[in-house]
């Protein structure tokens, strides 16, 4: 009889321990999810604050660069681009021969081309690298899963648009060293590419 009672007590104790472990794990999971949501909001706020006029404008300009122009920009080698892009750069750069005053931009024009060089090239490059460094920090949080991964993917899905040629400045990232330079951006862009292809595959299988 005593043995039976001991067995029952042992069984009940085991059940109670398991229930306690379950509740603790559920509580920890709930806390973890709450912290991830908070961290996601913080990351998005920091990202929005980092997007100054210059960095946003520089990113849009470089999206239209050729791989050769991106390579020259990364290695700070003077290069030519069309007048429209050159004038756009003059609107955000304040140093060197060219600045916000459009008349001074004429000094950089050679026929129908615009030559980017010197202090202006360095300043423009600094804006581009600043943009990518901040983006890499966001994607590091995504990679480590300390944020809501799905929400980050939804918020940044605009970065990948093959129809418009958008891929988070891929030619510039390649010039900088590719995946070795910005590994988490590269992985994130692969993820967006896969998600974009998935609906097409699902539709094909119907």
Q: Is 23 left (phi over 0), alpha (psi -120 to 50) or beta?
A: alpha
- Mean local confidence (pLDDT), 194-205: 66
CA 54 vs. chain centroid, Å, equals: 17
pLDDT in tens, 98-145: 444 444 566 566 677 899 999 889 999 999 999 999 999 999 999 999
- Mean local confidence (pLDDT), 34-39: 82
Distance CA 36, CA 48 (A): 18
pLDDT in tens, 51-78: 888 888 999 999 999 999 999 999 999 9
What sign does the CA torsion over 111, 78, 168, 202 have? positive
pLDDT in tens, 130-184: 999 999 999 999 999 988 999 999 999 999 998 888 899 999 999 999 888 999 9
CA 157 vs. chain centroid, Å, equals: 10
Place of tokens 């001074």: 104
pTM, rounded to two decimals: 0.77
pLDDT in tens, 22-35: 445 555 556 557 78
């Amino acid at each position: 009889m005593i043995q039976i009672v001991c067995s029952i007590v042992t069984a009940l104790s085991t059940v109670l321990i398991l229930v306690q472990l379950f509740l603790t794990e559920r509580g920890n999971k709930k806390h973890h999810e709450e912290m991830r949501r908070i961290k996601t909001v913080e990351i998005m706020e920091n990202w929005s604050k980092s997007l100054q006029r210059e960095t946003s404008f520089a990113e849009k300009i470089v999206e239209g660069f050729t791989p050769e122009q991106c390579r020259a920009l990364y290695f700070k080698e003077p290069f030519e681009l069309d007048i429209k892009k050159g004038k756009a750069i003059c609107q955000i750069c304040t140093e060197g021969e060219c600045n916000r005053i459009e008349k001074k931009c004429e000094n950089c024009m050679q026929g129908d081309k615009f030559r980017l060089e010197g202090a202006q090239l360095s300043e423009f490059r600094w804006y581009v690298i600043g943009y990518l460094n901040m983006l890499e920090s966001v994607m590091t949080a995504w990679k480590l899963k300390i944020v809501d991964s799905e929400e980050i993917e939804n918020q940044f899905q605009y970065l990948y648009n093959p129809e418009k040629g958008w891929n988070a400045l891929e030619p510039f990232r390649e010039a900088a060293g590719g995946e070795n330079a910005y590994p988490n951006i590269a992985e994130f862009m692969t993820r967006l590419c896969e998600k974009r292809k998935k609906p097409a595959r699902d539709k094909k299988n119907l």
